[in-house]
Amino acid sequence: MNVTLPDKESYQKSRRIMCFIALGMMVATTIATLLNPTAMAEAESILMTQYLALSGLVGTYFALGNK
């Protein structure tokens, strides 16, 4: 992590909150898709792109968060 950050604890907390919000969005999208799959079929490509981006964000956070 960059040593020039003035407030490292706030930075870490903000990253953690961002990760949990991304996980929450993925869970909400999954539940909405399971409850009403016909309505979500029209937005399939958008949902796949959203999952790809959010899972990349969460995966990167967990992979590089300890370094």
- The domain limits of the chain are 10-64
Model confidence pLDDT, tens digit, residues 10-39: 888 888 898 899 989 989 988 988 898 888
Tell which residue, 24, 29, 28, has the closest CA to residue 40. Answer: 29
Number of CB atoms found within 10 A of residue 64's CB: 10
**Residue 5: pLDDT above 80?**
no
Helix or strand or coil: residue 29?
helix
Question: What pLDDT shows up at residue 17?
Answer: 92
**Residue 1: pLDDT above 60?**
no
